[in-house]
Structure 1
Amino acid sequence: MIFYKGQIINPENFRQPSFFISPFRTSDLGKNDSIIKDEYPSDEELLKKFHSFFGETHEYFLSGKEAINQALSLYNLESDDEVLIITTTSNSYISSCVTKEIEKFCQWSREKTNKTKLIFVIHEFGKVYPDMERIKSYNIPIIEDCAMSMLSNNSQHQIGQYGDFTIYSIPKFFPVQFGGILRINNNYKLETQKPYQNYLQKICLYYLKDIENITIQRRANNQYLISKLEKIGFKSFFDYNEHETPSVCMFENNGCDLSELKIFLQQNGIECSIFYGKDVFFIPVHQNLGTFEMDYIVNLIEYFVYETK
């Protein structure tokens, strides 16, 4: 163990802090239990907000991956068909959470071919894909993945409405342990009742009441973290516009070994990763991080940069 700027580096295993990409904390278990036991009905304005996010028709799943699988299963894809994957950054790296689900049905590619039967658009890390009208002009079915961009939109406020389906991952933005939502924008009728449907709906309704503050806090946290990281040689990877909300804090490398930084931070309780294919790293930015917590994470990075060379 090392004492650095008032905090312990490499604490014993059972005394590690936990900083997740999700805003979930252990204390939210009790809070969420109280939320789902509340029998007070939701008002019409809140229900309207709920449907503006998740559509008039939607289905609940344990995870975003399950929602992806359900959507793909409705296209009668054959093994030699292709799903064209388009991302905001056009980076070579795509999460296996997406590719493995597609591979259960058919092939996937990064280029449109005569085998393309479906387009899967990933709005990455809160940064939306900028040219959805062009994608729509292909007249090929579209699925939008907003797992990391639930609180982001374009200036027309149409993200999530371009495709047949839209994927949302609830724990990325709300303090809950599980949950995916499949928004249905076409005539598919999915009427399966899930044992956790009431749980997820109540949780989402509750936290949607504070969505404006959540959005403001995430944007402010991202600015704060970037301002601190710039002092040790990093710089922001994205410039978010007024309609976009970060899901993580992403920054370009200053020359350090990102693989070693990932190991070091994870050993100290920080969920983080490399944006593989780019010299870019990401750390938590969620609304439940206060100034002390963000300084704690930056101090760890500073220690790694200056003290481990």
Structure 2
Amino acid sequence: MTENVEPEEAEAIQAALASTDAAEPAVVERDFSRPVRLSSEELEEVERSIASLVPDIERAMAETIGSVVPLELTSVAESSATDLFGEEETGPLTALRFEVHGQPAWVLWDNVAAVRTVESILGSHADIDEPRRMTPIEEEVLQSLLLPVAHSVLAAIGAEGGNVSVAQSNEALGSWEDAGECADPYRLHVAFGIEDSESPSVIDCYIPIDPPGRSAASEGPIELPAHLDRVTVEVSARIQGSEIPLEQLLQLEPGDVIPLDAKVGEPATLCVEGKPHAAGVLGTHQGLVALRIEHLIEEGEANHE
């Protein structure tokens, strides 16, 4: 390192590192405007529980339809209900609305597919291509089809529902804010695909849940005394470094470039006032280097860091 690295050379080094990083698995960035409360392990466990109940849902729906319609669990993810339903009517809906933990929950089915299925059950074989409202009798059939879906998802997460009704409009669906002061937009989104050759469709469930071991957190954060509101703490990230020979270290000059052994997707430690506080992985957020928290480090664990 007897010579400084020219700006062009530094850019070339950075470009080479960027091309190497591009081959690494992308880190899914968290949108902090949306609630994310389950760890990846908890989410996988919920998905396994729901998947194990798919055959039960198929059998329950077959009792009404008269034949088994293949059902596939296509997605289990956390979501926010803040922008789930608009205020303007989007046409006739076919959905169930019920309550879980005092919060509204929904199971929605594509209108055309739902109407076509219900009409077939009632003996009609008309070709339905446009959404339409259901009659009271058709609503009862729809409820008998969607209730097993709701019950199975609730059973998988250890919850119970009540106050069930059929919703065919945005007004009937309501909003997450209907829960009043305790309203919480957090929802578990579970999607099922119906493999019907004539009318493949999707059933979407939006269920409020209490994550395991998080009941205390649901009561809200602890309020700090007013005089501590503006207290700030130093937060830093400890990443992997690079080893260089002592001879080269002693010859460092302004302009030299030392690539750090840290890539997107690799582990890093969050330190508060110099002490390890959480473990996570490196990523990016809105163009900045960011650390996605994986788990908090307990005091005893920190002593072994």
Give the TM-score normalised by structure 2: 0.25
Q: Name the structure with the higher strand share.
A: 2
Give the TM-score normalised by structure 1: 0.25
Structure with larger Rg: 2
